C-alpha cells in the first residue's frame, strides 16, 4: 500500500492537474526528440520532480519509470580520529549524499569536503556518461521510430533497466593506502540512459558548493553531445550564473490554494471519499502551498477521522510541532543552559534531515508569534543576516545557534528595558 502522494502522482504531462500551459510548452519542447540542459526551480512540493519524470516519460515512453537510483561506493580518506560528529546528517552536496557516521579531520573539514565533492561530482557524471554509455547502449532496445512502419513488429527485447535492477553495481575509487582510516560512503544519484543520450537528474543543485558547480559546468560543456542534465533546485540564487546560462530554466511556482483544493478533491474522489471544500481549503492554507504536505495532511486527517468535518483538527507533522516548541523554549528562558538545550534540539532536527531553510523559517515564525511587536522587525532583520551567513558558510548549525543566542540577548535586553521603564 502506498501513500497518496505516490499513488496519485501524475505520471505524464497530460495528467498534470495544474500549470497546464507550462506542461504544453514542455511537450512542444520535446517534439524534436531532444532538449537542452534543463534547470527546474521552485519551492518545495510544487511538483518539480513530478514534471521531470512526466517529461522523461513523454520522451522515452513507460520504460523510463524504471529509472533507478545508483549507489556508488567511494573510499574517503581520513587522517585522524579527532572527528566531527555532526556530519552524520545531510551534507551540502547536490546528491543525496548521506554519511554513515563519516568522520572527517576537524582542522581541514571544509577544504576536504569541498575537494571531495568536486572530485566526486566529476567522477560520477563522467562515469555515467562515458563508461556506462557503451554498456547501456548494448543493452538498450532499438530507438522507437518516429512513425513505425505498419507491417514490421519489433521483436520483444528484454528491458535493459530491469536486467540492471537485478544486479546493482558498485564502483570503488581507490585512495592511497598510506591513509590510516578509511570509511566508505554511499553516493546516490539517478540516471537513465536511452538511445544515445544519457540523462542525469541532479537534485538539490542549489546545495552544491560553488566549486562543485564550476566542475559541473565544465562537465556540461564536455559531454554536450551525449549527455543532458536535468537539474532541480529550490532557489535560483544559489545556482551560479554559469550554470543558469547553460540551461533552459523552468520555474515551477507553488500551486495556488484553489489548485491544491482541486487536487485534494480529485484524490478523495478516486479514493471514494467526500471532502468538504472548506476543509480542503484549510488543508491548503496549512500546507503553505506545499502540495506534498497538503496531500500527506489530508491522508493523515482521514486516518484520524472520517467522514471529514469542516472544523476537524488537522494533523501537523511532528517536526513542525517540535520546532514550535523549540521557539517557545527560547522565549521561556534566556540563559546558557537553555541555549544548550535548544542546541540539542536543533541538532536533532538536522540529523533527521529537516532542511536548514525550513528549520530556520519555522523557528523564526515560532519566535515572531511569541514576541512583542517592537521586537519583530529587529528579529526579522537579524534572521536575514544569519540566513545570509548560512548560505555563505558551510556549517549552518553555527549560524542558527548564533541567531538563537543573539535573539536571546536581544529579548533579555528588551525585557529588562521594559521592566525598568515600568518602575
Ligand X SMILES: Nc1ncnc2c1ncn2[C@@H]1O[C@H](COP(=O)(O)OP(=O)(O)OP(=O)(O)O)[C@@H](O)[C@H]1O
Interface residue list for ligand X (CB under 6 A): 5, 8-10, 16-18, 44-50, 234, 263, 291-292, 295
CB of 19 to ligand X, least distance (A): 7
Q: How far apart are CA 223 and CA 205, in angstroms?
A: 18
Nearer of residues 172 and 258 to ligand X, judged by Cβ: 258
Closest residue by Cα to residue 220 from 26, 36, 34: 36
Residues whose CB falls within 8 Å of the CB of residue 344, separated by 6 or more in sequence, listed in order: none
Closest residue by Cα to residue 157 from 140, 135, 132, 143: 140
Closest residue by Cα to residue 289 from 9, 4, 18: 18
Nearer of residues 6 and 134 to ligand X, judged by Cβ: 6
Cα 234 vs. chain centroid, distance in angstroms? 7
Closest residue by Cα to residue 53 from 41, 42, 43, 67: 67
CB of 51 to ligand X, least distance (A): 7
Q: Which residue's beta carbon is nearest to the bound ligand X?
A: 47
Nearer of residues 117 and 292 to ligand X, judged by Cβ: 292
CB of 263 to ligand X, least distance (A): 5
Grid cell locating 278? 472548506
Nearer of residues 41 and 411 to ligand X, judged by Cβ: 41
CB of 393 to ligand X, least distance (A): 23
CB of 151 to ligand X, least distance (A): 39
SS3 content of the chain, % helix, strand, coil (to 5): 55, 10, 30
CB of 192 to ligand X, least distance (A): 17
CB of 283 to ligand X, least distance (A): 13
**Looking up cell 598510506, which residue turns up?**
178
Q: How far apart are CA 138 and CA 31, in angstroms?
A: 26
Q: How far apart are CA 278 and CA 259, in angstroms?
A: 14
Strands of the sheet with 181-194, listed across from one edge = 172-173, 68-78, 181-194, 197-202, 227-233, 38-41, 248-251
**What are the two backbone dihedrals, phi and then psi, of residue 305, each rounded to the nearest 5 degrees?**
-155, 125
CB of 50 to ligand X, least distance (A): 3
Cα 287 vs. chain centroid, distance in angstroms? 17
CB of 191 to ligand X, least distance (A): 17
CB of 231 to ligand X, least distance (A): 12
Work out whether strand 181-194 and strand 248-251 pair parallel, antiparallel, or are unpaired.
Answer: unpaired
**What are the two backbone dihedrals, phi and then psi, of residue 73, each rounded to the nearest 5 degrees?**
-100, 130
Cα dihedral 241, 191, 221, 31 sign:
negative
Closest residue by Cα to residue 40 from 202, 274, 207: 202
Please tell me the number of Cα atoms within 13 Å of 241 on its side-chain side: 0
Amino acid at each position: 500500500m502506498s501513500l497518496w502522494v505516490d499513488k496519485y502522482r501524475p505520471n505524464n504531462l497530460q495528467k498534470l492537474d495544474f500549470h497546464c500551459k507550462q506542461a504544453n510548452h514542455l511537450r512542444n519542447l520535446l517534439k524534436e526528440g531532444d532538449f537542452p540542459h534543463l534547470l527546474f526551480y521552485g519551492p518545495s512540493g510544487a511538483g518539480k520532480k513530478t514534471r521531470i519524470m512526466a517529461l522523461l516519460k513523454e520522451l522515452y515512453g513507460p520504460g523510463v519509470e524504471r529509472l533507478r537510483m545508483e549507489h556508488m561506493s567511494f573510499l574517503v580518506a581520513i587522517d585522524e580520529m579527532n572527528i566531527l560528529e555532526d556530519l552524520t546528517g545531510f551534507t551540502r552536496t547536490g546528491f543525496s549524499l548521506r554519511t554513515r557516521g563519516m568522520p572527517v579531520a576537524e582542522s581541514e573539514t571544509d577544504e576536504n569536503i569541498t575537494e571531495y565533492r568536486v572530485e566526486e561530482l566529476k567522477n560520477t557524471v563522467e562515469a555515467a556518461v562515458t563508461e556506462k554509455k557503451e554498456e547501456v547502449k548494448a543493452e538498450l532496445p532499438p530507438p522507437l521510430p518516429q512513425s513505425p512502419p505498419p507491417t514490421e513488429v519489433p521483436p520483444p527485447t528484454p528491458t535493459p533497466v530491469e536486467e540492471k535492477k537485478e544486479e546493482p553495481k558498485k564502483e570503488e575509487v581507490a585512495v592511497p593506502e598510506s591513509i590510516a582510516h578509511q570509511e566508505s560512503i554511499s553516493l546516490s544519484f539517478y540516471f537513465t540512459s536511452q538511445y544515445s543520450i544519457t540523462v542525469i537528474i541532479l537534485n538539490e543543485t542549489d546545495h552544491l558548493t560553488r566549486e562543485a558547480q564550476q566542475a559541473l559546468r565544465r562537465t556540461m560543456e564536455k559531454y554536450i553531445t551525449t549527455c543532458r542534465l536535468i537539474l532541480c533546485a529550490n532557489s535560483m540564487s544559489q545556482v551560479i550564473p554559469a550554470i543558469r546560462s547553460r540551461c533552459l530554466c523552468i520555474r515551477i511556482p507553488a500551486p495556488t490554494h484553489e489548485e491544491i483544493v482541486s487536487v485534494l478533491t480529485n484524490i478523495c474522489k478516486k479514493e471514494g471519499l467526500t471532502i468538504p471544500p472548506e476543509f480542503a481549503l484549510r488543508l491548503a492554507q496549512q500546507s503553505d502551498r506545499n502540495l506534498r504536505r497538503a496531500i500527506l495532511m489530508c491522508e493523515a486527517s482521514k486516518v484520524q477521522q472520517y467522514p471529514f468535518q469542516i472544523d476537524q483538527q488537522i494533523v501537523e507533522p511532528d517536526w513542525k510541532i517540535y520546532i514550535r516548541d523549540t521557539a517557545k523554549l527560547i522565549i521561556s528562558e534566556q540563559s546558557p543552559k537553555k541555549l544548550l538545550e535548544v542546541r540539542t534540539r536543533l541538532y536533532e532536527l538536522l540529523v533527521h534531515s529537516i532542511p536548514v531553510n525550513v528549520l530556520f523559517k519555522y523557528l523564526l515564525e515560532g519566535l515572531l508569534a511569541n514576541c512583542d511587536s517592537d521586537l519583530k522587525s529587529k528579529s526579522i532583520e537579524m534572521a536575514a543576516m544569519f540566513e545570509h551567513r548560512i548560505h555563505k558558510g558551510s556549517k549552518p548549525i553555527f549560524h542558527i545557534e548564533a541567531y538563537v543566542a543573539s535573539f536571546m540577548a536581544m529579548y533579555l535586553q528588551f525585557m529588562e528595558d521594559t521592566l525598568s521603564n515600568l518602575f
